[in-house]
Amino acid sequence: MSASITDPHSTAASPGSPAQPLIEGRSGRGRLVLRRFLRHRLSVIGLVCIVALYALAFLGPLFTPWGYAEQDPTAYLSPPSAQHWFGTSQIGEDVFAQTLRGLQKSLTIGLLVGIISTTIAAVVGTAAGYFGGWVDRALMWVVDLLLVIPAFLIIAILSPAFRGKTWLILVVLLAAFSWMITARIVRGLTLSLREREFVLAARFTGVPPWRIIVRHILPNMASILIIDATITVGTAILTETGLSFFGFGVQPPDVSLGTLIANGTNSALTFPWLFLFSGGLLVLTVLSVNSVGDGLRDALDPTSARGSRRRSGD
């Protein structure tokens, strides 16, 4: 995965018109990226699906009289009907309400983990690459240490200690083991960028290091960070589902797609509605997120093979 590195001052304005050329250059690139993304039909479909899933997860509960923890004593293991759209569970819980609650939890966890882990990777990678020396050695030692630790096993061991507490702890644990590879990529790009003319000029004029990183280095790797965030969202959803499936993730009485799949696995053939809807939404969510990430890669990275083919028509 690579991204084009451009000088943010290449469109610098002349003294007579200080802002217009820069604005036009950025808006022109934005339109070009948007056109490339819209040509990737699967990615557009994926984006529409993600928006629809979020709308369903957070607006759907408004249209059902049942809460995800409520029980209907008159309907045990009932198939989908007008009263219970996705059927009911063994103890009369409305599967539609539970599925939407699980979708809310999985989408929120995936989004938060993607944002947090990408932010950590950007901070650690740019700090290690820009400052070098003992800062680089110390940060890369931490990265190498975390890379050899089996993240799934560590989270599974730590999870019982947080049983009954907020699910945000699970977000922190997932994010803590999701940023290392991206940090190494960012470090490599920073090592190259810090020798570019616009960075050297800012350094010689006394611009503080972190301002150089924020204003000159990070914007030149924004495409990689955006792509990484979308990929991490899908990975985090799958990881959370796996942990919840084995009882180490979201804990009862709360639910996620993983807990619903785990509860419905034994009844997948006899009472398929217990498994089918949560499993189908999980597959659709991950495929949609990955499709959007693929489209963003092609739109933002002009050196990718698919992006190069599309660029011939621009």
pLDDT in tens, 238-287: 888 888 877 777 877 788 888 888 888 888 788 888 888 998 999 999 89
Beta-carbon contacts of residue 180 (< 8 Å; ≥ 6 apart): 121, 143, 146, 147
Distance, in Å, from the CA atom of 21 to the CA atom of 27, rounded to the nearest integer, reads: 10
Decide if 98 contacts 89 (C-beta within 8 A): yes
Q: Could you tell me what percent of the chain has a pLDDT over 70?
A: 86
- Amino acid identity, position 81: S
- 3-state SS, one letter per residue, for 138-172: HHHHHHHHHHHCCHHHHHHHHHHHHCCCCCHHHHH
For residues 294 and 26, the model is more confident at: 294
Average pLDDT over residues 198-215: 88
pLDDT one-digit tens code per residue, 38-97? 888 888 999 999 999 999 999 988 888 888 888 888 888 888 888 888 988 888 888 999
SS3 content of the chain, % helix, strand, coil (to 5): 70, 0, 30
Residue 4 has pLDDT above 80, yes or no: no
Residue 112 has pLDDT above 70, yes or no: yes
Distance, in Å, from the CA atom of 261 to the CA atom of 247, rounded to the nearest integer, reads: 11
Beta-carbon contacts of residue 80 (< 8 Å; ≥ 6 apart): 86, 87, 273
What is the reported pLDDT for 49? 94
C-alpha separations of 205 from 8, 196, 210, 233 in Å: 17, 15, 14, 39
CATH number of 52-311, picked from 1.10.3330.10, 1.10.3720.10, 3.40.50.2300, 3.40.50.150: 1.10.3720.10
The radius of gyration computed from the CA coordinates of the chain, to the nearest angstrom, equals 23
88 backbone dihedrals φ, ψ, rounded to 5°: -130, 165
Reference 68, options 82, 57, 77, 78; nearest CA is 57
pTM of the model: 0.78
Decide if 217 contacts 208 (C-beta within 8 A): no
Distance, in Å, from the CA atom of 285 to the CA atom of 50, rounded to the nearest integer, reads: 7
Using 50, 70 and 90 to split pLDDT, how confident is the model at 29? low
Distance, in Å, from the CA atom of 234 to the CA atom of 174, rounded to the nearest integer, reads: 12
Residue 23 has pLDDT above 70, yes or no: no
Reference 244, options 155, 115, 149; nearest CA is 155
Distance, in Å, from the CA atom of 81 to the CA atom of 26, rounded to the nearest integer, reads: 53
Report residue 95 as tokens: 């599967």
Q: Could you tell me what percent of the chain has a pLDDT over 90?
A: 26
